[in-house]
Amino acid sequence: MTKTVILIQTIVGGLGIGSIYALVALGYSMVYRSMGLVNFAHGSIYMIGTYFGIIFYRGMVAGIHLPYWAAFIVGVLLTAILGVLLERLFRPLANLDLMLMLLGTIGVGIMLDNLAIIVWGAEGFAVRSPLPSKPILVGGVSLLPQMLLVIGVGTLLMVGLQTFLSRTKVGKAMRAAAQDREIASAMGIPVNFTNAITFAIGSGLASAAGILAAPIVYVNPSMSAAVGIKGFASAILGGLGSIPGAIVGGLSFGVIEAISAGFISSAYTKGIAFIIMVLVLMVKPSGIVGETTVEKV
Residues binding other proteins (CB under 8 A): 169, 172-173, 175-176, 179-180, 182-191, 292, 294-297
Minimum distance, C-beta of residue 168 to other proteins, in the bound complex (Å): 11
Nearer to other proteins, 32 or 57 (CB): 32
Nearer to other proteins, 99 or 297 (CB): 297
Distances in Å between the Cα of 280 and the Cα atoms of 30, 220, 239, 270, 289 are 22, 32, 11, 15, 11
Minimum distance, C-beta of residue 244 to other proteins, in the bound complex (Å): 12
What DSSP state is assigned to residue 134?
A: S
CA distance 214 to 126: 8
3-class state of residue 218 by DSSP: strand
Nearer to other proteins, 5 or 186 (CB): 186
What DSSP state is assigned to residue 135?
A: P
Minimum distance, C-beta of residue 17 to other proteins, in the bound complex (Å): 30
The answer to whether 20 touches 150, Cβ cutoff 8 Å, is yes
CA distance 96 to 88: 15
Minimum distance, C-beta of residue 242 to other proteins, in the bound complex (Å): 10
Minimum distance, C-beta of residue 293 to other proteins, in the bound complex (Å): 8
Nearer to other proteins, 23 or 165 (CB): 165
Distances in Å between the Cα of 2 and the Cα atoms of 6, 12, 221, 294 are 7, 16, 39, 45
Phi, psi (degrees; rounded to nearest 5) at 140: 90, -15
Nearer to other proteins, 191 or 214 (CB): 191
